[in-house]
């Protein structure tokens, strides 16, 4: 019951499942007399710290940097478990390390890590060691396996944390920028009718212009193709950009209509109803958020999708289809 409650509250199934797995592994340590008391205390302390961070939500939302801190603690627990878990349980740790190899920055590092993990896996299950420089039959292979697995765990954990730290900093920057833009739009909504009395734009009319611009921004989202092979970071970034679409659309619509009213451009037919034409223009202006979003994605694409070359290629094909 508590597990299902956390699934609903944290809204990150991957993190909840990993936290649950680590919690069960730490609980098993308490029943083992061969594990030092200091190791048990350290593992329990990290687990409690992670739980406390996950419970520090504001209006049901956990800041991005808090997620980074929780993953760092879970990785520390994984490093610790490498030195105390029995050999059969190390296979699950090895699989978790292998899943994070894609975060290594260079292809050569990823291939080398995969080969080393394959060798350690073969040694753990007692099978033939593929291309091993160290034979599987040694006097005490398990301590060496533990050390090598912990080294690889720390290597991929550092790469994963660095990658998601950059992604979350980008998401936070976009969120802050969108929030400031929304506040400025609200300020413009109250000030512009009083400042531009010569243009005779009332607040209801301005609200309609902003509304149709926001609708245009949302409709433009329907034209966006997202590949199911894109990386997780790309999906999280797209979710952040989705919240910015109506805000950018409303701002673009307001600016374009002001340009039209000021006489800098002439985009409306002479015989059209002024308000109806302005609403149509506002809706069309909302589509300009696609160009702004594309510039953001191009500026951050190298740091977001370079983790997975296949995902990067899929993302490029997705944008070409827009």
pLDDT score at 132: 46
Q: Does pLDDT of 80 surpass 80?
A: yes
DSSP 8-state code for residue 305: S
Q: Does pLDDT of 37 surpass 50?
A: yes
pLDDT score at 137: 40
Residue with tokens 């993302």: 315
Q: Does pLDDT of 100 surpass 60?
A: yes
Instruction: Map residue 58 onto helix, strand or coil.
Output: strand
Look at 262 and 169; give whichever has higher pLDDT. Answer: 169
pLDDT score at 291: 60
pLDDT score at 305: 44
Rounded to whole angstroms, the Cα distance separating 161 from 71 reads: 8
pLDDT tens-digit readout, 129-146:
454 444 444 445 888 999
pLDDT score at 273: 81
Instruction: Using pLDDT thresholds of 50, 70 and 90, give the confidence band for residue 293.
Output: low
Q: What is the mean pLDDT of residues 226-250?
A: 82
DSSP labels, 70-125 = HHHHHHHHHHHHTTTS-HHHHHHHHHHHHHTGGGSSSHHHHHHHHHHHHHHHHHHH
pLDDT score at 198: 67
In this structure, what are the phi and psi dihedrals at residue 58, rounded to the nearest 5 degrees? -115, 115
Tokens (6 digits) for 143: 């301590």
Q: What is the mean pLDDT of residues 239-251?
A: 87
Q: Is the pTM of this model over 0.85?
A: no
pLDDT tens-digit readout, 6-22:
444 445 677 878 888 88
pLDDT score at 183: 95
Look at 267 and 100; give whichever has higher pLDDT. Answer: 100
- The proportion of the chain whose per-residue pLDDT surpasses 90, expressed as a percent, equals 31
Beta bridge partners of 58: 61
Closest by CA position to 254, among listed 207, 191, 200, 217: 207
pLDDT score at 301: 53
The rounded mean pLDDT for the chain is 80
Rounded to whole angstroms, the Cα distance separating 120 from 151 reads: 12
- Residues with Cβ within 8 Å of residue 112, at least 6 apart in sequence: none
Q: Does pLDDT of 128 surpass 60?
A: no
Look at 157 and 57; give whichever has higher pLDDT. Answer: 157
DSSP 8-state code for residue 316: H
Q: What is the mean pLDDT of residues 33-52?
A: 91
pLDDT score at 266: 76
Closest by CA position to 204, among listed 259, 275, 287: 275
Q: Does pLDDT of 271 surpass 70?
A: yes
Look at 133 and 181; give whichever has higher pLDDT. Answer: 181
C-alpha count within 13 angstroms, C-beta hemisphere, residue 60: 5
Rounded to whole angstroms, the Cα distance separating 246 from 185 reads: 12
């Amino acid at each position: 019951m508590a597990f299902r409650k956390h699934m609903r509250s944290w809204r990150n199934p991957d993190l909840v499942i990993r936290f649950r797995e680590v919690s069960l592994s730490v609980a098993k340590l308490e029943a083992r007399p061969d594990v030092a008391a200091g190791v048990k205390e350290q593992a329990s302390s990290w687990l409690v710290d992670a739980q406390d961070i996950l419970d520090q939500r504001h209006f049901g939302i956990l800041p991005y940097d808090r997620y980074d801190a929780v993953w760092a603690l879970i990785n520390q627990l994984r490093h610790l478990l490498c030195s105390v878990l029995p050999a059969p349980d190390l296979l699950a740790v090895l699989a978790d390390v292998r899943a994070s190899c894609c975060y290594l920055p260079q292809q050569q590092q990823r291939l080398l890590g995969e080969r080393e993990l394959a060798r350690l896996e073969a040694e753990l299950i007692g099978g033939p060691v593929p291309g091993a420089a160290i034979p599987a039959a040694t006097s005490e292979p398990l301590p060496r396996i533990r050390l090598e697995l912990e080294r690889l765990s720390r290597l991929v954990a550092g790469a994963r944390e660095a990658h998601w730290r950059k992604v979350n900093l980008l998401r936070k920057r976009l969120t802050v920028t969108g929030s400031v833009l929304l506040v400025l739009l609200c300020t413009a909504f109250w000030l512009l009718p009083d400042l531009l009395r010569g243009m005779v734009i009332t607040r209801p009319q301005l609200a309609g212009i902003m509304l149709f611009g926001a609708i245009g921004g949302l409709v433009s989202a329907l034209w966006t193709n997202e590949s199911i092979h894109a990386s997780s970071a790309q999906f999280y970034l797209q979710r952040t950009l989705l919240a910015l679409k109506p805000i950018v659309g409303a701002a673009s619509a307001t600016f374009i209509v002001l340009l039209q009213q000021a006489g800098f451009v002439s985009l409306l037919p002479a015989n059209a109803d002024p308000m109806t034409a302005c609403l149509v223009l506002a809706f069309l202006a909302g589509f300009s958020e696609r160009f702004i979003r594309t510039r953001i994605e191009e500026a951050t694409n190298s740091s977001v999708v370079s983790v997975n070359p296949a995902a990067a290629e899929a993302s490029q094909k997705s944008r070409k289809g827009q």
